[in-house]
Amino acid sequence: MEFKKILITGGAGFIGSNFINHLLSKRDDVFIVNLDKLTYAGNLENLKPSEAKKNYVFIKGDITNNELVNYVFNKYNIKYVINFAAESHVDRSILGSEIFYRTNVIGTNVLLEASRRFEVEKFLQISTDEVYGSLGPNGLFTEKTPLAPNSPYSSSKAAADLMALSFSHTFGLPVIVTRCSNNFGPYQFPEKLIPLMIINAINDKKLPVYGDGLNVRDWIYVLDHNRAIETVLDHGKNGEIYNIGASNEKRNIDIVKLILDKLQKPESLIEFVKDRPGHDRRYAIDSTKIKSELGWKPIFAFEDAIFETIDWYIKNKSWWERIISGDYKKYYKTLYENR
């Protein structure tokens, strides 16, 4: 059988590992090469369900390393690329932006150049709704919304999107960009809102809510995002952008209260802390295009998926205890102490 040879970058992170586990659990027409630098956010434990599969290999390496990327394309005859690799956390991009531009911009450029040379059949750039900036109380982001990124993180992702689309326009590289809203689910690194609040609540620690807690994010379960990426991989049109979202707008404070309620912890654990500089007020995504043109739609109800996620963190304490007992402690102290 002819395999689809797919290079997945950043496949040891939250979304990438869920994607690999999802794809390998149901398809045997793919061969996956996972190239990941294993930064603080990369964790091979996430890939336990896939590591023994014959159609899967892991390579530890940096997407900014031209020579290595060339070697990987050549050795595995890569024909499909899905670029998840990124520095992904807004707060870290405020603490230090350089690595964001190095990985998210230069790294994407290295992959695009290699993809040109090796004439890949598809290059999926995994992006975010944060490239559109912040919304007022009304309206939704569509694919035509002008880019207006506000954080070093989102500006680096917007730069990568534009670069990828320019390679489509100028060189005819078969590029597709997907822009998804905020994900949640198993294996999400505890720096992000939902796992951070679940873990702090379990540990009876304060829950640091930025500003007034009324910022709105549009949440999607990671498996729905992954199903959308699979749809785009199989049926997406080259040169196009697809927004991905599940229409679950929630205020941060309501998410935090839901988590406390489910864990039967008191609301007195909530602590309002100094706001994030440049904090985007509201994100909300219109995914009409991917629904009407490619037939994807989300299948997980928000309440069920968040309860499942909370249960996952309850049952997988050893996974996150190892994380929060290491370098994470220093990060947490820097960001949250005396805030």
Instruction: Enumerate the active-site residues.
Output: 129-130, 153
Side-chain-facing half-sphere of 322: CA atoms under 13 Å: 10
Among residues 70 and 247, whose Cβ is nearest to ligand TYD?
A: 247
Residue list 47-66, contact with ligand NAD (CB under 6 A): 62-64
Instruction: Please pick, from the candidates 30, 85, 209, 253, the single residue that binds ligand NAD as defined by CB under 6 A.
Output: 85
Residue 287 CA to residue 227 CA, distance in Å, equals 14
Side-chain-facing half-sphere of 181: CA atoms under 13 Å: 25
Residue list 192-231, contact with ligand NAD (CB under 6 A): none
Comparing CA positions, the residue from 140, 128, 139, 149 lying closest to residue 280 is 149
x/- letters, 176..195, toward ligand TYD (CB under 6 A): ------x---------xx--
Neighbours of 227 (CB within 10 A): 19
x/- letters, 265..304, toward ligand TYD (CB under 6 A): -----------x----------------------------
x/- letters, 128..157, toward ligand NAD (CB under 6 A): x----------------------------x
Minimum Å gap between C-beta 122 and ligand NAD is: 17
Comparing CA positions, the residue from 190, 150, 174, 140 lying closest to residue 321 is 190
Q: Which does 209 bind (CB under 5 to 8 A by kind): ligand NAD, ligand TYD, none?
A: ligand TYD
* 32-40, 228-236, 273-281, 313-321 -> range binding ligand NAD (CB under 6 A): 32-40
Question: Is 15 a binder of ligand NAD (CB under 6 A)?
Answer: yes
* 134-142, 209-217, 239-247, 315-323 -> range binding ligand TYD (CB under 6 A): 209-217
Q: Which does 210 bind (CB under 5 to 8 A by kind): ligand NAD, ligand TYD, none?
A: ligand TYD
Residues in contact with ligand NAD, total (CB under 6 A)?
30
Minimum Å gap between C-beta 338 and ligand NAD is: 26
Separation in Å, CA 17 to CA 2, 135, 145, 227: 24, 30, 30, 13
Please say whether the beta carbons of 136 and 282 come within 8 A: yes
Please say whether the beta carbons of 65 and 110 come within 8 A: yes
Structure tokens at 210: 């930025």
Residue 74 CA to residue 85 CA, distance in Å, equals 20
Separation in Å, CA 5 to CA 32, 53, 172, 183: 6, 14, 20, 26
Which three-class secondary structure state does DSSP give residue 224? helix
Minimum Å gap between C-beta 228 and ligand TYD is: 18
Element (H, E) at 210: strand 207-210
The per-residue DSSP string of 156-196 comes to HHHHHHHHHHHHHHHH---EEEEEE-EEESTT--TTSHHHH
Question: Is 127 a binder of ligand TYD (CB under 6 A)?
Answer: no
Neighbours of 204 (CB within 10 A): 10
x/- letters, 220..259, toward ligand TYD (CB under 6 A): --------------------------------x-------
x/- letters, 86..105, toward ligand TYD (CB under 6 A): ----x---------------
Q: Which does 215 bind (CB under 5 to 8 A by kind): ligand TYD, ligand NAD, none?
A: ligand TYD
The per-residue DSSP string of 263-302 comes to TT--GGGEEEEPPPTT---B--B--HHHHHHH-----S-H
Chain residues that interact with ligand NAD, rule: CB under 6 A: 9-10, 12-16, 36-39, 41-42, 62-64, 84-88, 103, 107, 126, 128, 157, 180, 182-183, 189
Chain residues that interact with ligand TYD, rule: CB under 6 A: 90, 130, 182, 192-193, 196, 208-210, 215, 217, 252, 276
